[in-house]
Amino acid sequence: MSVDLAWDDGQQAIVDALGQFCRDRCSDEVTRAPSHAFPVDLWRDLAELGVLATGTPEGDGGPAEIAAAMAALGRAVFPGPLVASFFATQVLPEKERCAVAAGQAIVSAGVPPLMPWAPHATLFIEFEAPEAPRQPAEADESHARDPQAVNPLDPLDPTDALHDGFEPPAMRAWLARRADGGAVALESTLGGEPWGRLELVRERELEGVARAHHLSEMALAAYLAAAGQRLVEDAAAHAKARTQFGRAIGEFQAVAHPLADCHMRLSASSTLARAAACQLEQLEPSEEPDAAGSRAAALCAAARLSASAAALSAVQVCHQVFGAIGITLEGPVFHVSRRILQLACLPPGSAPARRAVLDYFGLPDGQELLRQAEGQEAKASA
């Protein structure tokens, strides 16, 4: 069975409305603002549109609408802790959730002591990612998955016996507060985000973290794919206008082919993010990742990995197209590429995503492969 992953009328309306909002309010001057600044008015205006409440009991829509919103915001490289906010609204109690959805509370989510947006944050969420992947319940050959036998990332495949014994990696998070008298030491970042070092005290562990983590990875993938696509389009326009040896540089295959490759990879990543949103839509609001959730975990993780890799590749290719002007603060695209570089390594990082995909296929991670190789070498030398 196939599924149409194009935006429906409601989701397209979100893309169009937020696109116009960003053109009116989120100019390049705003996204180039000094890293210590936070666009308070812009953030609250976004909240008034209902964007931060999407997918909550107080708001409308669900994962697909979040993906649509993040695609529009990513194209404008909209500033602020968007991914953390969508995560927070899925796990916080009602009072704190409503404050985040209204733009009144700023969320910092990460692994201390270095936390994103910490100088401006009023709510802190501390992650604790698993240190090692969990293995299937029975480690035998029956759990080894043949990628050629079935498309395991098909978001609408209702029958998938390959998930027997699958145990997804655990992700834990706590609502935290600053330590008594603790100050935030401002850290400037390449991405233009104000990070800070501080000591946190855990107050209570949050529930529903796994589902919220999957949703936030899908949202990040949609944002990165759109930001990367904007970068490629800007580079293509420059390649069309810039001449060398009497010809537009875009006519040279060494310029055109890498841009075309980036476009294809980013388009695929955008589609994968929509597929992940579609899979999340099938889960009940209170459903934790079980056999069905493992597909959602793998899809969302794959979407993050795909979008991060495609967007980072676009950064490298597009800077080569622009040349030196592309890496200047006042240049046409550095504010886009630095945002991509920052978000690609957003906490808790890509390691949990890699583990989720490897676990889905029943494959060991790199450390496990190394241990197996060392064991085989030891046997051979004995």
- Spatial contact of 318 and 262, defined as CB atoms under 8 Å apart: yes
- Spatial contact of 18 and 49, defined as CB atoms under 8 Å apart: yes
- The predicted model gives 169-188 an average pLDDT of 85
CA-to-CA distance for 4 and 15, rounded, in angstroms?
Answer: 17
Summarize pLDDT for 334-358 with one digit per residue, the tens.
999 999 999 999 988 888 898 888 8
Element containing residue 248 per DSSP (H, E): strand 247-248
Element containing residue 200 per DSSP (H, E): strand 200-205
Summarize pLDDT for 11-57 with one digit per residue, the tens.
999 999 999 999 999 988 888 876 677 889 999 999 999 999 999 99
- Spatial contact of 210 and 293, defined as CB atoms under 8 Å apart: yes
What is the pLDDT, as a whole number, of residue 349? 87
Residue 213 has pLDDT above 90, yes or no: yes
Tokens 């209204």: give the residue.
Answer: 102
Residue 166 has pLDDT above 80, yes or no: no
The pairing of beta strand 200-205 with beta strand 172-178: antiparallel
**Position with higher pLDDT, 175 vs 151:** 175
Question: pTM for the full model?
Answer: 0.86
- The predicted model gives 296-307 an average pLDDT of 95
Summarize pLDDT for 232-261 with one digit per residue, the tens.
999 999 999 999 999 999 999 999 999 999
What is the pLDDT, as a whole number, of residue 287? 56
Residue 117 has pLDDT above 50, yes or no: yes
Per-residue confidence at 327, pLDDT binned at 50, 70, 90?
A: confident
Show the domains of the chain with their CATH numbers: 9-133+169-369 (1.20.140.10)
Residue 316 has pLDDT above 70, yes or no: yes
Summarize pLDDT for 145-163 with one digit per residue, the tens.
444 443 434 444 433 433 4
What is the pLDDT, as a whole number, of residue 159? 36
Per-residue confidence at 141, pLDDT binned at 50, 70, 90?
A: very low
Residue 292 has pLDDT above 60, yes or no: no
Per-residue confidence at 131, pLDDT binned at 50, 70, 90?
A: low
Alpha helices in the chain (DSSP H): 9-25, 28-31, 40-48, 63-75, 82-91, 94-101, 209-241, 253-281, 291-322, 334-344, 351-360, 366-381
- The predicted model gives 50-72 an average pLDDT of 96
- Spatial contact of 151 and 162, defined as CB atoms under 8 Å apart: no
What is the pLDDT, as a whole number, of residue 366? 67
